[in-house]
Amino acid sequence: MSSYYSPITYIIPPEEDGWLLKTILHKRMEVSRKLLSRLKMTEQGIKVNGERVYISVKVRAGDTVEIRMETEVSEDILPQPIPFESLYEDEHLLVVNKAAGIIVHPTHGHYTDTLANGVVHYWAEKGERYRFRPVHRLDQETSGVLVIAKNPFAHQHISEQMIAGKVDKRYMAFVHGKPVVPEGDIDGPIDRDPEEPHRRIVTPDGYPSLTRYKVMETYSGGSRVELKLETGRTHQIRVHMTSIGCPLIGDGMYRHPLYSEAAPTPDQTAQLAGIAALDAAMPRQALHAVRLSLRHPVLPENLIFEAPLPPDMAALENELKQGKPELAAE
Tens of pLDDT, residues 95-153: 999 999 999 999 888 899 999 999 999 999 999 999 999 999 999 999 999 999 999 99
The answer to whether the CB of 191 falls within 8 A of the CB of 206 is yes
Quick one: pLDDT band at residue 326, thresholds 50, 70, 90? very low
Q: Are 156 and 92 in contact (CB under 8 A)?
A: no
The yes-or-no verdict on residue 330 having pLDDT over 60 is no
Query: One-letter amino acid identity for 160?
Result: E
Mapping DSSP to helix (H, G, I), strand (E, B) and coil, where does residue 307 land? coil
Strands laid side by side in the 64-67 sheet: 8-11, 64-67, 46-48, 51-52
Active site residue 185: no
Q: Cα–Cα distance between 219 and 234 in angstroms, integer?
A: 28
Dist. CA 147–CA 155, nearest whole Å: 10
Residue 77: partners with Cβ closer than 8 Å, 6 or more residues away:
106, 116, 117, 120, 132
pLDDT of residue 266: 86
Catalytic residue, from 90, 113, 139, 267: name it: 139
Handedness of CA 257, 260, 265, 269 (dihedral sign): positive
Query: How far is it, in rounded angstroms, from Cα 196 to Cα 136?
Result: 25
Predicted confidence (pLDDT) per residue in 148-196, tens digit: 999 999 999 999 999 998 999 999 999 999 999 999 999 999 999 999 9
For residue 224, list its beta bridge partners: 174, 217
- 50-94 pLDDT per residue, tens: 999 999 999 999 999 999 999 999 989 999 999 999 999 999 999
Rounded Cα–Cα distance for residues 264 and 251 (Å)? 21
User: Can you give the pLDDT at residue 67?
Assistant: 97
Question: Which parts of the chain fold into alpha helices (H)?
Answer: 21-23, 33-40, 115-125, 152-163, 236-243, 266-281, 311-320
Residues across the chain? 330
CA 70/CA 122 separation, integer angstroms: 20
pTM score over 0.75 = yes
Instruction: Give the contacts of 128 (CB within 8 A, at least 6 positions apart).
Output: none
Beta carbons of 210 and 242 less than 8 angstroms apart? no
- The answer, yes or no, to whether residue 26 has pLDDT greater than 50, is yes
Beta strands in the chain (DSSP E): 8-11, 46-48, 51-52, 64-67, 85-89, 93-98, 133-134, 143-149, 168-176, 183-187, 190-192, 200-202, 210-218, 222-229, 287-295, 302-306, 326-327
The whole-angstrom separation of Cα 32 and Cα 64 is: 19
| The pLDDT value given to residue 313 | 97
Specify the pLDDT at position 264.
Answer: 85
